[in-house]
Structure 1
Amino acid sequence: MRAVLTKLEQAKQLDRVGDQIQRGIWSALPRRWMRDLLHGVWLGHPLHPALVQVPIGAWSASAILDLLPGQRRASTLLVAVGTFGAVPAVIAGWNDWASLSQSQRRVGLVHAIANGIGLALYGASLGTRLRGRHGIGRILGWSGLSAASGGAFLGAHLAYKMGAGVNQAVPELHRLDEGWHPVADLGALPEASLVTRKVNEVPVLIYRNGDRVTAMLEHCAHQGGPLGEGDVMKVDGLVCVVCPWHGSTFRLDNGEVVHGPSATDQQTLPTRVMGGVLEIRMP
């Protein structure tokens, strides 16, 4: 299985189809607020994995009820809930997929195909059940759950092995020693400019606005892009930093995500000034 997944990650022949789909998604979702909504920026958490609980939960429960006598109506209802509930999950998933790196998109494409097959099988299962052909409906449902389970396996591989959709910056917190660490002389920090310093070899982004100084992890939560090379701009009156790689936008006063594709906030670090020296520590 490891060898198969490695080959899938390296399957460049998928890129031609994937690149066309990616352009189609960006054309279908031309406005940034649409993409932010589907990324889960408003939630502070990726939306897709939250939405998939509806179809997976409903379909799994339906598969169990199909093994019990007298549960046709309840099972059919759950198949319908799962099938219609899968639609927003699919849309949010494709939106996230379009912002992944190329190797991640290869695995994500097969993940989407497997789930698409599962959805089609469940749609057919619902249709046959409504026509009273519950035996065939059960077989189609179990087949759909098998396909969706394969898709879920690939989704877990994307998240846990390839890091898709997870906060790429937070693991660097574990490289910081306990206690306060000196970063820079406060008087040497320029006003309203991005400054990058390393603490325990961890890049930290410093931004000074008058007497207020903010420190946050410098690698972007989305794909680890260098925020220190990003632009500072105002968004809705808030001073933000824009990642130069994919455009994720974070408030510089508290790290809150304003625009995706990142759906999680940028980790900030507590600061203090001792003897004119700015110090930071782990949260």
Structure 2
Amino acid sequence: MLRQLVSRLEKFTALDSVSDRLQEKVQAVARPERLRDVLHGTWLGHPLHPVLVQLPVGAFLSAGVLDALPGQRKAATTLICVGVASAAPAAAAGWVDWSSLSRDQRRVGLVHAAANAVALSLYVGSLAARFTGRQGWGRLLAYAGLSVAGSGAYLGGHLSFEQGAGMNVASPDKLRLPADWAEVGDIAELPENRPTVRTIDGVRVLLYRVGNDVTAMVEQCGHQGGPLGEGEVVGSGAEACVVCPWHGSTFRLTDGVAQHGPAAGDQPTLRTRVRDGVLSVATP
């Protein structure tokens, strides 16, 4: 029944009007590219949001354990303060990631965020009760907040592991490519300083040649699967980058390193070799 409810949530188009307006506002607030890259986790090589949520989640869970033990009232209150304070940066990173997702993912993400907001409000109420001497209400509100946060965590897990939000969707394509060397063709046929696309075992591969050096990477953008082969090339030579035409993720063509988000991870690359003028590729 729970899975059926989440499945219906993915298709609940009534959320789209709210979702679209919020997306515009989030993108307007996070317009500076450097700020977006920090919150996406591009500098980390990994989405930042899952890292930041560890602190509030850990603090709230620990407070729940201490609330069940005698004589731990002050320690539990301190942990709830830590959890409430650390929720803000985690939420900021989550909203920026959410703003670059597809509509069905944003529907689930919107309810995930709403559940977390309710949980946070309950924890703030718990602190207010504790500071005014109503310890029983403080514990009750904290446990209610933990329950709601658990529901939000379930939706967050569904968003990541079932819908693929935040995952590098190009990685499965790399697994389909040959582990042994597969010939692509004469290197002389590849344009220099300009990416081109070849299909190998049903997988589109983006090739970039600088002199006699060729880089190969999965052509499907790791963020949401956009066609990098149709993207704009910025820069030149060894510093040239390809910009995904869907959401603007930017990868250096010589090594696939992510330069700008929303992609947090690097684009999967392949081994290349040239023998007798013939280019071959293989998985790492």
Cα distance in 2 between the residues matched to 1:132 and 1:238:
61
* Superposition deviation, residue 131 in structure 1: 2.0
Q: CA RMSD in A?
A: 1.1
1:224 to 2:225 alignment:
yes
1:255 to 2:256 alignment:
yes
- Which one-letter code corresponds to 1:152 in the other structure? A
- Which one-letter code corresponds to 1:52 in the other structure? V
Mapping for residues 1-283 of structure 1, pairs under 5 Å: 1-234=2-235, 238-283=239-284
* Superposition deviation, residue 222 in structure 1: 0.2
Structure 1, unpaired ranges of 5+: none
* Superposition deviation, residue 275 in structure 1: 2.0
Q: Which moved more, 1:73-82 or 1:28-37?
A: 28-37
**TM-superposition CA deviations, 1:70-113 (whole Å, max 9, x none):** 00011001101111011100011001000000000000000000
- Which one-letter code corresponds to 1:100 in the other structure? L
Displaced runs of 4+ in structure 1, greater than 6 A? none
- Which one-letter code corresponds to 1:218 in the other structure? E
- Which one-letter code corresponds to 2:35 in the other structure? M
- How many residues are matched? 282
Structure 2, unpaired ranges of 5+: none
Q: In percent, how many aligned pairs have the same letter? A: 53
| Aligned-partner SS, 1:80 | helix
Cα distance in 2 between the residues matched to 1:184 and 1:33:
40
* Superposition deviation, residue 147 in structure 1: 0.8
**TM-superposition CA deviations, 1:37-86 (whole Å, max 9, x none):** 10001111100010000000000000011000000011001101111011
Cα distance in 2 between the residues matched to 1:139 and 1:92:
29
Cα distance in 1 between the residues matched to 2:279 and 2:266:
23
- TM-score by length of structure 1 reads 0.97
* Superposition deviation, residue 261 in structure 1: 0.6
- Which one-letter code corresponds to 2:68 in the other structure? L
Q: Which moved more, 1:172-181 or 1:53-62?
A: 172-181
- TM-score by length of structure 2 reads 0.97
* Superposition deviation, residue 127 in structure 1: 1.8
